[in-house]
Chains A and B, each alone.
Chain A
Amino acid sequence: MVERQPVLTAVTHLVLVLGILVVAFPIYVTFVASTHPLEDVARAPMPLRPGDRLAENYAAALTEGLRTVGGLPVGRMLANSLVMALGIAVGKIAISILSAYAIVYFRFPLRTVCFWMIFMTLMLPVEVRIVPTYQVVADLGLLNSYAGLTVPLIASATATFLFRQFFLGVPEELFDAARIDGAGPVRFFTDILLPISRTTLAALFVILFIYGWNQYLWPLLVTTDESMYTIVVSIHRMTSVAEAQVEWHRVMATTMLAMLPPVAVVVLMQRWFVKGLMETEK
């Protein structure tokens, strides 16, 4: 913010609060639903204020989660989700940043072909090719393994595309300065490009981590060992009860719990956002 304009500031805050109300309202409802007994949640209309069963529902979600996955501790499921999310986020970022770097800062035959090949992966959604992908993974012997869970999901175009956009926006002067200093491509990458990519990296990490965290269909298909299931799978599990009654209050409580690590990641990344920003100010 450059000038001090109290009116503008007030308007800004107002818009943000409104935005949060709209955007976060469903989350609020989730929270409220997780604090009531099932009877109140399943009847019309659900009360808007938090109920009195918070401790009970959450305790049950934590220990019940134990039972519904056949005696597996919730900790194990969270660990699986974590490994998947981290593996996918780190993997995608690593290979995408390298590819984008190559495409923007080098000239080589097949350059455009490579970009479009990578970009094409956006054009066919996962669910359509999931059965043949499963077959490939099975043939490679990667079923029921962390590798099988993460590697097929690393082929992403969004990260490459994003980095391409970002690199194209980097001023040429930086490149020239580096060349004059005698820096090769590796030095340029590590000393100049990476530091200024901080905010983009942080943003991407948040998005990809959550993407990996929320994976449902792929882990379900690729593992037959329930000890490899992720926490999102267990949430789904609670909702597929055929004709019986879904335990909505439990589902909501578990959903809130499952959202905590991604939110923690967001909060941590924010620190990095700000730090990265301040560094470039210097």
Chain B
Amino acid sequence: MERRRVFPHRVLPYLLVAPQIAVTLVFFFWPASQALWQSVLIQDAFGLSTRFAGLENFRTILSDPDYRHSLGVTAVFSSAVSALALGSALGLALMADRVVRGARAYRTLLIWPYAVAPAVAGVLWLFLFNPTVGIVAFALRQVGYRWNHLLDGREALLLVVLAAAWKQISYNFVFFLAGLQGIGRAVIEAAAIDGAGPARRVVSVVLPLLSPTVFFLVVVNVVYAFFDTFGIVHAVTGGGPAKATEILVFKVFRDGFVGLDLGRSAAQSVILMAIVIGLTIVQFRWLERRVHY
């Protein structure tokens, strides 16, 4: 992204960046380093007895077959959620950008799910799919399919993927739409005059112009799928049945928050952080090359 023209000022940029850096240092780096320091300790919940343990926590985790299983579940889960959320949102945004009549209503209705607090969203999906009282489960029973995500691992995974993607569609939709509406009408009209049909316009004109937004959303969605989906999994399946939906971040919170084993939880966070940083670097290196600024 080089070869840009910039202002020559020396001091001003530091001033502009200072507030965020200050907040980041005090409220992120300082607590985060403490949290990560705990990964090399073995201590009780209250911090009353602390023992330096080097890499012991890491060794225990990596040699745990459950952890490796969780890695696999997470890979499947994250890809599915990101793909579903991005694809659906893009499609809906393209449609919403086209219409004139009823536009505002459509947009509000599609953004509404994002306003639902995450834990409540999880409960809603549970409501819908509960094998006994759920409406969707009931409907499925009518057509002969006995839905029971409490016993079937694949159904459980499908359920959390749907629930997690559902919340994220609204988020993506908001940004896709904003990006689309930022593309001047003039450009689209020029392409139309050149004889490009709607589909061609989308592929050759709109998407490239939208690519900065797309890149942003891809990165954010991957991070979301890895990190922010804890609430959904916790509310809907609790990681079960038999660990079918136990994604890495769920393990982290379970061990830290619920199990109060902060050392192990911190060690898992370190590994998780490394994975996501790796993925992000890959995205920046590889994907950003294709972004048209």
Chain A interface residues toward B at CB < 8 A:
1-3, 5, 8-9, 12-13, 15-16, 19-20, 23-27, 29-30, 33, 42-46, 48, 94-96, 98-99, 101-108, 111, 114, 117-125, 127-129, 131-133, 135-137, 151-152, 154-155, 158, 160-162, 165-166, 168-169, 172, 175-176, 179, 184-185, 188, 196, 199-200, 202-203, 206-207, 210, 213-214, 216, 232, 235-236, 239, 251, 255, 258-259, 262-263, 266-267, 270, 273, 277, 280-281
The answer to whether A23 touches B266, judged by C-beta atoms less than 8 angstroms apart, is no
The answer to whether A2 touches B111, judged by C-beta atoms less than 8 angstroms apart, is no
The answer to whether A239 touches B17, judged by C-beta atoms less than 8 angstroms apart, is no
The answer to whether A104 touches B4, judged by C-beta atoms less than 8 angstroms apart, is yes
The answer to whether A24 touches B99, judged by C-beta atoms less than 8 angstroms apart, is no
The answer to whether A127 touches B230, judged by C-beta atoms less than 8 angstroms apart, is yes
The answer to whether B128 touches A29, judged by C-beta atoms less than 8 angstroms apart, is yes
Cα A15 to Cα B97 in complex, Å, equals 12
The answer to whether B19 touches A98, judged by C-beta atoms less than 8 angstroms apart, is yes
The answer to whether B19 touches A45, judged by C-beta atoms less than 8 angstroms apart, is no
The answer to whether B170 touches A23, judged by C-beta atoms less than 8 angstroms apart, is yes
Cα A106 to Cα B31 in complex, Å, equals 30
A-B CB contacts (within 8 Å), total count:
286
Q: Which of A33, A96, A162, A255 contacts B20 (CB 8 A)?
A: A96
Mask: chain B, 165-185; 1 = CB below 8 Å from A; 0 = not: 010011100110111011011
Q: A23-B113, A105-B7, A169-B293 are in contact. Are A162 and B216 (CB under 8 A)?
A: yes
Mask: chain B, 264-280; 1 = CB below 8 Å from A; 0 = not: 01100100010011001
Q: Which of B21, B26, B112 contacts A136 (CB 8 A)?
A: B26
Interface of chain B, helix or strand or loop or mixed?
helix
Q: Which residue of A lies closest to B199 (CB)?
A: A8
User: What 19 new A-B contacts, CB under 8 Å, besides A129-B34, A200-B182?
Assistant: A1-B100, A2-B188, A3-B192, A24-B110, A95-B19, A95-B23, A105-B6, A117-B21, A121-B28, A123-B276, A123-B280, A124-B35, A129-B35, A131-B35, A132-B30, A206-B174, A255-B117, A262-B115, A273-B181
Determine, out of B8-16, B52-60, B69-77, the stretch whose residues face the partner at the interface. B8-16
Q: A107-B6, A236-B119, A267-B104 are in contact. Are A19 and B27 (CB under 8 A)?
A: no
Interface pairs (25), CB distance under 8 Å: A8-B198, A26-B121, A29-B124, A33-B127, A99-B16, A99-B19, A111-B13, A124-B28, A124-B36, A124-B273, A125-B228, A125-B230, A128-B256, A129-B34, A135-B31, A151-B23, A155-B20, A155-B24, A168-B4, A176-B5, A179-B5, A185-B9, A235-B120, A259-B112, A266-B111
Cα A281 to Cα B174 in complex, Å, equals 21
Residues on B with beta carbons closer than 8 Å to the beta carbon of A95 = 19-20, 23
Q: Which residue of A lies closest to B135 (CB)?
A: A45
Cα A241 to Cα B133 in complex, Å, equals 20
The answer to whether B28 touches A98, judged by C-beta atoms less than 8 angstroms apart, is no
Residues on A with beta carbons closer than 8 Å to the beta carbon of B111 = 206, 263, 266
> Which residues between 178 and 228 of chain B lie within 8 Å of chain A, taking CB atoms?
178-179, 181-182, 184-185, 188-189, 192, 198, 209, 212-213, 215-216, 219-220, 223, 227-228
For the complex formed, measure the closest distance between the CB of B108 and the CB atoms of chain A, giving whole angstroms: 6
Residues on A with beta carbons closer than 8 Å to the beta carbon of B112 = 23-24, 27, 259, 263, 266
Residues on B with beta carbons closer than 8 Å to the beta carbon of A154 = 23, 27
The answer to whether B24 touches A121, judged by C-beta atoms less than 8 angstroms apart, is yes
Q: CB of B125 within 8 A of chain A?
A: yes
Q: CB of B123 within 8 A of chain A?
A: yes
Cα A29 to Cα B125 in complex, Å, equals 10
The answer to whether A12 touches B35, judged by C-beta atoms less than 8 angstroms apart, is no
Cα A261 to Cα B13 in complex, Å, equals 36
The answer to whether B223 touches A122, judged by C-beta atoms less than 8 angstroms apart, is yes
Q: Which of A43, A48, A161, A214 contacts B133 (CB 8 A)?
A: A43
Cα A48 to Cα B136 in complex, Å, equals 11
> Which residues between 117 and 146 of chain B lie within 8 Å of chain A, taking CB atoms?
117-121, 123-125, 127-128, 130, 132-135, 138
For the complex formed, measure the closest distance between the CB of A52 and the CB atoms of chain B, giving whole angstroms: 19
Residues on A with beta carbons closer than 8 Å to the beta carbon of B10 = 108
The answer to whether A172 touches B4, judged by C-beta atoms less than 8 angstroms apart, is yes
Cα A125 to Cα B228 in complex, Å, equals 7
Cα A23 to Cα B4 in complex, Å, equals 41
Residues on A with beta carbons closer than 8 Å to the beta carbon of B123 = 239
The answer to whether A207 touches B265, judged by C-beta atoms less than 8 angstroms apart, is no
Residues on A with beta carbons closer than 8 Å to the beta carbon of B182 = 196, 199-200
Cα A30 to Cα B135 in complex, Å, equals 12
The answer to whether A255 touches B120, judged by C-beta atoms less than 8 angstroms apart, is yes
